[in-house]
Amino acid sequence: MSFPKDFLWGGAIAANQCEGGFDQGGRGLSSADYLPADKARFALCQGRLSIDALDASMYYPAREGIDFYHHYKEDIQLLAQMGLKCLRLSIAWTRIYPNGDDETPNKEGLLFYENVFKECKKYNIEPLVTIDHFDVPVHCIRKYGSWRNRKMIDFYKKYVTTIMTRYKDYVQYWITFNEINMLLHLPYVGAGIIFDGNENENQVKYQAAHYQLVASAWATKIAHEINPENKVGCMLAAGDTYPYSCDPKDVFEAKKQDEDNFFFIDVQARGYYSKYAKKQFEKLNLNLDITSEDETILLENTVDYISFSYYASRCASANLKDIDKTEGNAFASLKNPHLQTSDWGWQIDPLGLRITLNTIYNRYQKPMFIVENGLGAKDVVEEDGSIHDPYRIAYLKEHMKAMKAAIEEDGVDLLGYTSWGCIDLISASTGQMSKRYGYIYVDRDDLGNGSLKRIKKDSFDWYKEVIEANGENL
Ligand code: BGP
C-alpha cells in the first residue's frame, strides 16, 4: 500500500476567498476586502496603489465570497459526503480581533469558528487551520504600516494565543502564514504592505518577512506550550525551477531562483538564515532590524512539518529573461515548451510535483503536507443541472499519481493532500468566480450575481472514490 492508512485526504479553502459576511458578527475590515475584481487589483496586490485611491463603486468580491459564513453547515456536510478526512481553512484575523490591536477578542467571531470546528468534528473531519491566509486588519495597515512594524509580532502573538487556547479541543494542525514567499512578489497580498513611493522596497519587504518569521516562530512556541500535541507547519508557494537548457548559466539561474524561494522556509525549518540569504541582504544593501532575541526564538522554534502549494514547476534562463513569460502567475517564469497550460496560462506539470516533493524532503527531512493543488477552469452547468469536468479529474488524477509515486518509489514522508478550492471560491489573483477549482460548484458569477446554490460536479464522485480506496484506484 502506498498511502499510509491515516493519510489526510482533504480540501482547502481560505476565509478571505470564501467566507464573506465582512460586516457581520463584529468583524473588522481586512486587507482582502479592498481587492477589487478590476484591473486595479494587480497594482494593489503589488503594494503600488493606496486603498484610499480605490473607487467605492467597484465590486469587491472578498466581502461576500461564497457566503460560507452562512452556508458552513451545508458546505461541511457536502464535503463530509465526499468522504473528506481533512479540511484546510483559515481564520479571519479581523473576526477575532477586528482592528488587530484590540484589548479583548470579539466573542461572536470566536463562537463562529467554534461552531465551524464542531461541525467538522461531527463528521470526523480534521481541521487544518491557516492562522493568516492573505489577511491583515486594515486598521493595522493604516495605523502601523502593517508588517513593516515590529508591533505586528505582538498583535499576532495575542491572536494566536487566543485562538489556540479557545480551539484546543478541536484543532491540532496549524499553518502560521500562507505562502510566506508570496510577500516578495505581491507584498500587499502577503503582508498588507503599501509602499509610500520613495522607500527602498526591498528593505521594506525583507524587514516585513523577518517580522513574520519571528511571529511564526512565536506561534510555534505558543502552540507547543498550549498543547504538546499541536503540529505547526510553514507554508511555501512551491514548484521547482527548471533550467531552460543545460547551459550551466541557465542551471545556475534556476538554482538561484529556487534559493530565493526557499529563503524563508529555510528559517522556519532550520531556525536560522542561510549564508546565501545573508549574502543577499549584503548585496541588496539592507539594514535589517534583527535582534539576538529574535535569533534565539527562531532557532528554538522550528516547524513540525513543511506544507506547500503546488500548481506548476517554473523555468528560468540566464539569457531569455524577459521574453515569453507565462501569464497570470505571481511568480515570473519562462514558458516551458514541454508543458500544456490551463485556460489562465498556468502550466501543467504533474511530474513536477514528484520532483518538488523530492527536493523539499531531501532539503529538510521533515514530514510534508500538500495543502494546495488544483486546476482553475471554467465549468458549464448543463440543462439537467449536471456539471462534467473531465479536465479537472485528469489534472488531479495525474498529480495524485505523481504524489503516490513519490511516496511509494522515492520514500517521501507525506501527511496529506488538500486540493485547493474544494468548493468553488474567489480567485486570489484575479478576483474572478469563473476560475473554478471545486468538486462543488457555487452559483455565483464574476460580478457577484447568482443564487449561491451548491451543485456537485462529476469530480465530486470521482474524489469520493479515490478517498474510499485510499488512492489505490488511481
Ligand atoms: C495560492 C493561494 C490561494 C489560491 C491559489 C490559486 O497562491 O494561496 O489563496 O487562490 O493560489 O490561485 P488563484 O486563486 O489566483 O487561481
At 153-192, the pLDDT tens digits run: 999 999 999 999 999 999 999 999 999 999 999 999 999 9
Give the CA distances from residue 256 to residues 172, 260, 312, 351, in Å, rounded to whole numbers and listed in that order: 35, 6, 18, 21
The closest alpha carbon to 417, from 397, 389, 432, 443, belongs to 397
Q: Report strand pairing: 231-238 vs 173-177.
A: parallel
Number of H helices and E strands in the chain, helices first, is 15, 14
pLDDT in tens, 85-107: 999 999 999 999 999 999 999 99
Atom of ligand 1 nearest to the CA of 376: 16
State the Cα–Cα distance between residues 205 and 190, nearest whole angstrom.
10
Show Cβ contacts of residue 18 under 8 Å, excluding neighbours closer than 6 positions: 65, 66, 68, 423, 425, 426
Q: Is the pLDDT of residue 328 over 60?
A: no
376 lines ligand 1 (CB under 6 A): yes
**The Cα angle at residue 84 between residues 81 and 86, in degrees rounded to 5:** 145
Report the separation in Å between the CA atom of 437 and the middle of ligand 1, taken as the mean of its atom positions: 10
Nearest alpha carbon, ligand 1 atom 15? 429
Q: Which of 18, 177, 378, 427 to mutate to test the pocket of ligand 1 (most atoms within 8 A of CB)?
A: 427
Q: Does the CB atom of residue 309 touch ligand 1 within 6 A? A: yes
Is 179 labeled as catalytic in the residue annotation? Answer: yes
Q: Closest by alpha carbon to 12, among 94, 93, 62, 84?
A: 84
Task: Please give the distance of CA 221 from its chain centroid, rounded to a whole number.
Answer: 22
346 CA closest ligand 1 atom index: 16
- Considering only CA atoms, which residue is closest to atom 14 of ligand 1? 427
CA of 427 to the centre of ligand 1 (A): 6
Average pLDDT of the chain is: 96
% pLDDT > 90, the chain = 95
Ligand 1 atom nearest the C-alpha of 17 is: 9
Tell me which of 130 and 324 has the higher pLDDT. Answer: 130
Is the minimum distance from the CB of 435 to ligand 1 under 6 angstroms?
A: yes
Cβ-contact 319, 249 below 8 angstroms: yes
Give me the mean pLDDT over the 251-279 stretch: 96
Q: Hey, which of 418, 420, 434 would you mutate to test ligand 1's pocket, going by the most ligand atoms within 8 Å of its Cβ?
A: 420
**List 64, 126, 179, 253, catalytic entry:** 179
CA distance 246 to 391: 32
Strand partners, 417: 9, 370
pLDDT at 329: 64
> Of all atoms in ligand 1, which is nearest to the CA of residue 374?
6
Query: Which of the four pLDDT bands, split at 50, 70 and 90, describes residue 322?
Result: low
Q: Which residues pair with 420 in a beta bridge?
A: 12
Ligand 1 center to 112 CA (angstroms) = 24
Q: What is the mean pLDDT of residues 310-334?
A: 80
237 lines ligand 1 (CB under 6 A): yes
Q: How far is the CA of 376 from the centre of ligand 1 (A)?
A: 9
pLDDT band at 142 (very low <50, low <70, confident <90, very high): very high
The answer to whether residues 235 and 177 touch, using CB atoms and an 8 Å cutoff, is: yes
Q: What is the pTM of this model?
A: 0.98
Q: Is 372 assigned a catalytic role?
A: yes
Q: How far is the CA of 166 from the centre of ligand 1 (A)?
A: 28
Active-site residue, selected from the candidate residues 126, 372, 382, 465: 372
Residue minimizing CA distance to atom 2 of ligand 1? 428
Q: Which ligand 1 atom is the nearest neighbour of the CA of 429? A: 15
Q: pLDDT (tens digit, 9 = 90+) per residue, 2-27?
A: 899 999 999 999 999 999 999 999 99
Ligand 1 centroid–CA 137 distance in Å is: 20
The predicted-structure confidence for 330-387, as pLDDT tens digits, reads as follows 777 899 999 999 999 999 999 999 999 999 999 999 999 999 999 999 999 999 999 9
State how far the Cα of 394 lies from the Cα of 461, in Å rounded to an integer.
14
Instruction: Check residue 326 and give left, alpha or beta (phi > 0: left; psi -120 to 50: alpha).
Output: beta
The set of cell numbers assigned to 89 is 481553512
Ligand 1: which atom is nearest the Cα of residue 328?
Answer: 15
Residue 226 alpha carbon to ligand 1 centre in Å:
31
Cell (9 digits) for 161: 494565543
pLDDT higher for 204 or 333?
204
Q: Find out whether 331 and 239 touch, Cβ atoms under 8 Å.
A: yes
For residue 64, name the pLDDT band (cuts at 50, 70, 90). very high
Q: What share of residues in the chain are helix, strand, coil (percent, to 5)? A: 45, 15, 40
